[in-house]
Amino acid sequence: MGKLDGKITIVTGATSGIGRRTVEIFVAEGARVVATGRREELGRSLEAALGKDRCVFVKADATQEKDVKAMIDACVSKWGRLDCLFNNAGGPAPVGGIETVPVEGFDAAMATLVRSVMLGMKHAAPIMMKQGGGSIINNGSVAARRAGYSTSMIYGAAKAAVNHLTVCAAMQLGEKNVRCNSISPGGIATGIFAKALGLPPDKADGYAQAMKASMAKAQPIPRAGIVDDIAHAAVFLASDDSSFINGHDLVVDGGMVGGRMWTPHQEGVNAMRKAFGVDEI
């Protein structure tokens, strides 16, 4: 038996990276999935690989209300219910200091990162409340918890809004047995970092593997995060195993935001001892 047997789910931003892998693992765990995104060729390839009896691709821009409503309507029309929505769609935000932020870039980032989450919850919530249950998962970030953990301060601010909006919605929807939680990834090797630096999506995704070595030392666990780490966290929050978890931000970062790493800290302590002429204990 799979952990998601019989579950009807939607994953946004499903054409690459975390979203695509989450769809694959959701299906492997027994779910039926509506996968959405803007890149139709990639979405159709995912649908073909998994089979239309398990995965249906719906082209949708998660920042547009009509598209969000259409994708949810398509799910309910095909399978009759909605058990889990993973608001995963995202993208880069303007880089540079606060004095350089272009207003149009700020607005576009807020639409991609925050409005998309609000729209997903807005249109999924009535269905789940009527059913008497469901799970909404929003993709946050460790950049929401600590400044300087993204190439963009606007990205960090947007993800902080996502995490808090998640809690606000959880306080309302929990009364109807609809859970709302977020996942905050740390350094996950995907194309989003290259996109943030200006590479187009079709090229940026190819840099994910090359990033693993440089990201392996960013946290106590000595490897880069991978998309499977987030996908499996999403499986947990989508499943009945997490039925009493609501309004929670699940940080998946190998310990990145836990504090100062042990070895560099001890090297600093020993350097101070040496400078002060104190024998190492």
| Catalytic residue check, 149 | no
Question: Cβ distance 92 to 196 under 8 Å?
Answer: yes
Concatenated DSSP letters of 23-42: HHHHHHTT-EEEEEES-HHH
Q: Looking at 47, 155, 195, 230, which residue is catalytic?
A: 155
Separation of first and last alpha carbons in the chain: 54
Paired sense of beta strands 178-185 and 84-87, if any:
unpaired
CA distance 43 to 89: 13
> Which residues, 6+ apart, have CB-to-CB distance to 281 below 8 Å?
none
Question: Cβ distance 30 to 2 under 8 Å?
Answer: yes
SS (H, E, C) 113-178: HHHHHHHHHHHHHHHHHHHCCEEEEEECCHHHCCCCCCCCHHHHHHHHHHHHHHHHHHHHHHHHCE
CA distance 113 to 69: 17
Q: How many beta carbons lie within 10 A of that of residue 205, not counting itself?
A: 20
- The CA-based angle 144-188-220, given to 5 degrees, is 85
Dihedral sign for Cα 14, 242, 165, 198, please. Answer: negative
Write out the catalytic residue numbers. Answer: 155
